[in-house]
Amino acid sequence: MKCWLIIEKWSDIVGPKIAGHAKAISTDLQCLFVDVDSPAWQHQLFIMKSDILKKIKQYDSSIKDIKFIINLSAIEKRSGHGKEKQDTRSKRNA
């Protein structure tokens, strides 16, 4: 298996624009796990999944699936909320 190569070459596989929003983080048997910074990018990549898998096969033919996982901490950092937003919700519910 050359799974490490997919993670290393992720930007070459998907291009710099997509790589700026999605990062290959690990593999598990036949699945590649990709950290995505928003639900919109998760949806877009899901649509592109078969094309991405074709490109991945050039590096590792054992990968059969991709799971796109939304990184909630990236969303919170980008929106500037994070912990403050959670604290506000807890005060409202008290």
Out of 3.30.300.180, 1.20.120.1200, 1.10.40.30, 3.20.20.60, which CATH number does the structure's domain 3-93 have? 3.30.300.180
The structure's pTM equals 0.76
Where in the chain are the domains? 3-93
Would you give the distance in Å from CA 8 to the centre of its chain? 14
How far apart, in whole angstroms, are the C-alpha atoms of residue 63 and residue 50? 12
Contact 57, 49 (CB under 8 A): no
Measured in degrees and rounded to the nearest 5, phi and psi for residue 37 equal: -90, 5
**For 39-71, what is each residue's pLDDT tens digit?**
999 999 999 999 999 999 998 889 999 999 999
Task: Give the strands of the sheet with 31-36, arranged side by side.
Answer: 22-28, 31-36, 65-70
